[in-house]
Structure 1
């Protein structure tokens, strides 16, 4: 099989393995190095130290895996059926979880399929050396995907495809064979700035540049400390990730539902009531989140995010009871619980002695508690 035939066959095999689109590119990402270094120098990566630790290796695939001359970039759609975006975000007594995390953790699934693709190529190419990656190594997967023709980098920094929007995962197979490369994608965003203007925290500070320190996905997933007060209200009921910049993107009108059942909503999220989710102890959380990307944030961070959402929910006595009952277990959690109690107290109307008594009680709890940003 010659290399042109092999490249076409790779795309056939990839679709058989569940990928919706595959492209091939060379490994030259030198044009992205200056922008990457500037992004790191400005601290936009927040506390994700691993992003800075590897330096420019992210833009040099052959340093990551010596001998690499081509990257096979693959896309797998994840949009679940009955995504319920608007209804879930509007009902603030319900937790909003980014749609990519409603099903099974994609890392192993996508990586395993890439490995199978490598094994199929290996049967045709003697001496093939390959290595699959899915968010598992310091590599600029989005520039590679654009170079391989999978889509262009939108103003929200995600890869966009004209026919499928952005609801998909990316994975890479690094190989040591000089396959023919595909035509890079060109920018199709035009003058649209919907993603920038709709970001709840203003995290998209320039076209294609995200300050992770302001991003709700970063704050709820990657950041394990005290969430700055300025971001708590904008978080709303988003307890794991945020899809807002994708929701408003016109290209996502064309996105198709994933045929991969592992990415469909798991039963434990059919009822995402805030109080119900906060009732899980650590053992229950770990059990219910087996096979989920959410499991890695841990129980304390899960509760922290839920307590902030409770502060943004309409006043309910059961929410107040849950918050009060959770005080004293963790200083980090107490900071967010006390803030949430204060938000609940502010929603109580005045006018009756019973309501006034409840309000004063909540205020006393907050006043006796930890300082807001201790």
Structure 2
């Protein structure tokens, strides 16, 4: 059944598919509790520790976790003012569509097949699952890294009640050159395979609450008004990586959010126009705020 699953995934252009065990994830529990103790959480994560450790809570009878990677790299765009992961349609939508197709295939093949699909919105730790499924290795910056696509990959998973044989985690790490530690705009990469998300520029660009002076200084470090690619772009594992073979991430690309357009439309119209983009979920106001902080900084430099 596992081989049939992999063959079907090839028809969807999914090259990276692995199986993680169904838990409990006691190793991850220690890692997560340590992060909480240090205050290295931002609130976007699932905060119920039990749900993060015991997949059985989310899907009673779970026996394995199918994990897939979705590469999205389409090249470096100097003119971009948004992160690479947002160039195409919202990855949540694309990954979920493909995962649902996989699940439907398995429903037809396996009697009584039960499942739940997640793409960055589930209770489990996506990167931990990808590592457990043997799909990549950890970088100092906390990203999962692959040989073909580097760390430019999205992660999705399917909790299910079929006992697929788990894959083995890769016994390796990144080069540990510490370039990402040195170059991170907010000094968020701590050098021990953990990050402080509250100092991460990507998080700050998505933060709705009032920004602190530190947040504003971090925001000004480069021109992206949504997200941050620095720790990935400087990573030697991301040099000469392949571009995605997934058509969904190569179509209808948009590299810029235009300030004049933002100012000329309502939030409702912004959501209507960009509801299929990963940067739309916090609305127009957050991006406008970021834009104005960065724009003012560049204006001051010109003066």
Q: Same fold (TM over 0.5)?
A: yes
In 1, the alpha carbon distance for the partners of 2:55 and 2:9 equals 21
The residue number in structure 1 matching 2:120 is 135
| Partner SS for 1:23 | strand
Aligned to 1:285: 270
Cα distance change of structure 1 residues 312 and 294 upon mapping to structure 2, 3 Å threshold: same
Tell me the residue number matched to 1:241: 227
Which among 238, 254, 264 is matched to residue 252 of structure 1?
238
Report the Cα distance in structure 2 between the residues aligned to 1:126 and 1:213, rounded to whole angstroms. Answer: 46
- 1:83 is displaced (CA, Å) by 3.0
- 1:41 aligns with 37
Over 3 Å counting, the alpha-carbon distance change for 1:240 and 1:270 in structure 2 is closer
Q: Structure 1 residue 157: deviation in Å?
A: 0.7
Look up the match of 1:300. 285
- Give the number of the structure whose residues are more often helix, by fraction: 1
Q: Superposed, which structure 2 residues align to 1:75-154 within 5 Å?
A: 75-80=69-74, 82-84=75-77, 87-88=78-79, 96-154=81-139
TM-superposed deviation, 1:283: 4.2
Pick from 37, 61, 65: which aligns with 1:71? 65
2:19 to 13, 24, 41: 24
Greater Cα shift, 273-282 or 205-214:
273-282
The 3 A distance-change label for structure 1 pair 293 and 119 is same
Question: Bigger CA drift: 173-182 or 231-240?
Answer: 231-240
CA distance in 1, matches of 2:204, 2:28: 26
Q: Distance in 2 between matches of 1:265 and 1:14?
A: 21
Partner of 1:7: 2
CA contact (8 A) 2:72 2:246 kept: yes
The offset of 1:296, in angstroms, is 0.6
Q: What aligned pairs does 1:201-350 form with structure 2 within 5 A after superposition? A: 201-221=186-206, 223-235=207-219, 236-264=222-250, 266=252, 269=254, 272-275=257-260, 277-313=262-298, 315=299, 344=300, 348=303
- 1:163–1:175 Cα change, 3 Å: same
Task: Give 1:290 shift.
Answer: 2.7
User: Relative to structure 1, is the Cα distance of residues 47 and 129 closer, same or farther in structure 2, using a 3 angstrom cutoff?
Assistant: closer
* Cα gap change, 1:272 to 1:126, in 2 (>3 Å): closer
Answer yes or no: is the 8 Å Cα contact 1:24–1:180 preserved in 2.
yes
**Residues 273-307 of structure 1, C-alpha deviation per residue, up to 9 Å, x if partnerless?**
54555444434422331311111111111111111
Match of 2:46 in 1: 51
Contact 2:184 2:230 in 1 (8 A): yes
Higher relative contact order (CA 8 A, sep 6+): 2
Q: TM-score by structure 2 length?
A: 0.91
| TM-score (normalizing by structure 1) | 0.75
Q: What is the RMSD of the two structures over their aligned residues, measured on CA atoms?
A: 2.0
Aligned length: 300
Give the conservation status (yes or no) of the 8 Å contact 1:57–1:138: yes
Q: Distance in 1 between matches of 2:256 and 2:102?
A: 37
Question: How far is the alpha carbon of 1:220 from its aligned partner?
Answer: 0.8
CA shift digits 1:247-293 (9 cap, x unpaired): 011111242212333323746x3555545554444344223313111
8 Å contact 1:102–1:265 — kept in the other structure?
no
CA drift of 1:162 comes to 2.0
Quick one: distance in 2 between partners of 1:274 and 1:193? 35
Unaligned runs of 5+ in 1: 1-5, 89-94, 316-343, 349-374
Q: Distance in 1 between matches of 2:161 and 2:286?
A: 41
1:340-366 CA deviation, whole Å, 9 max, x = no partner?
Answer: xxxx3x753xxxxxxxxxxxxxxxxxx
Do the aligned partners of residues 304 and 288 (structure 1) sit closer, same or farther apart at CA in structure 2, a change above 3 Å counting?
Answer: same
Unaligned runs of 5+ in 2: none
Distance 1:177 1:270 in 2: 41
